[in-house]
Amino acid sequence: MKFYDLPASPNARRVRILLAEKGLEIPTEIVDMTKGENQTPEYLAKNPLGRMPLLALDDGRYLAESGAICRYLDELHPEPPLFGRGVEGRALVEMWHRRMEIEVLMPMIAMFVHGHPMWKGRLPQVPEWGEINRSNLAGKMVWLDHELADRDFIAGDAYTVADIVGQCAFVMGKAALNFPIPEEHENLTAWFERVSSRPTARA
């Protein structure tokens, strides 16, 4: 296998953290989007959407989308089980995995794409849409703070892919968007400190 990485991407970071949690090392190639390396004919032959991350499989096929890559690696290397144990456990993790993608990560990315100078001239920007997502995310932080009042991790008592998605989103908010978790959200802040202190958090 070979992993095509974009270091600043929260989606690529999601895969890197999962790999680190499982103690796996995969040959990696960094694709520099700022230089257009993801739009070369060679890369587009691997992933016509020109996105990262991308996983080259041993049989010559390619697997895109970070969630799919993480699930594939979790199936190949089931310990620790980052997608949950048992039918109910896996369903619960999947529920929270999707919630963290839809309610937190995707709005963070929308804020970045529609408000950050990096994307000017690359994609059409609608600053008002970025601000709408910022306002919506403020409400989602209140919701998550309440949810985390009685447990250590997003989907229960164990660290899972739902936590990985959440921490990647909030790292992006803090580092790239000047949108940190407000101190008054004590439960969410404690969760973020908990996951950020893991040895794998800097993957």
Helix (H) or strand (E) holding 63: strand 62-64
What residues are paired with 63 via a beta bridge? 55
pLDDT at position 120 is 82
- The strands making up 2-5's β-sheet, listed across from edge to edge, are 28-30, 2-5, 54-56, 62-64
pLDDT tens, the chain, 203 aa long: 999 999 999 999 999 999 999 999 999 999 999 899 999 999 999 999 999 999 999 999 999 999 999 999 999 999 999 999 999 999 999 999 999 999 999 999 999 999 888 878 778 899 999 999 999 999 999 999 999 999 999 999 999 999 999 999 999 999 989 999 999 999 999 999 999 999 999 99
pLDDT at position 118 is 80
Question: 65-83 burial string, b = 16+ CB within 10 Å, else e?
Answer: ebbebbbebbeebeeebbb
pLDDT at position 156 is 95
Cα gap 36→31, rounded to integer Å: 9
Show the tokens assigned to 4: 């095509």
Cα gap 148→42, rounded to integer Å: 45
* Phi, psi angle pair for 103, to nearest 5°: -90, -20
Q: Whose structure tokens read 């990985």? A: 164
Record the pTM: 0.94
Domains of the chain with CATH codes: 2-76 (3.40.30.10), 86-202 (1.20.1050.10)
pLDDT at position 122 is 79
- Is there a contact between 203 and 163 (Cβ–Cβ < 8 Å)? no
Show the tokens assigned to 113: 């794409």
Cα gap 194→196, rounded to integer Å: 6
pLDDT at position 119 is 79
Q: Counting Cβ atoms within 10 Å, is residue 183 exposed (0-12), middle (13-18) or buried (19+)?
A: exposed
**DSSP 8-state assignment for residue 29:** E
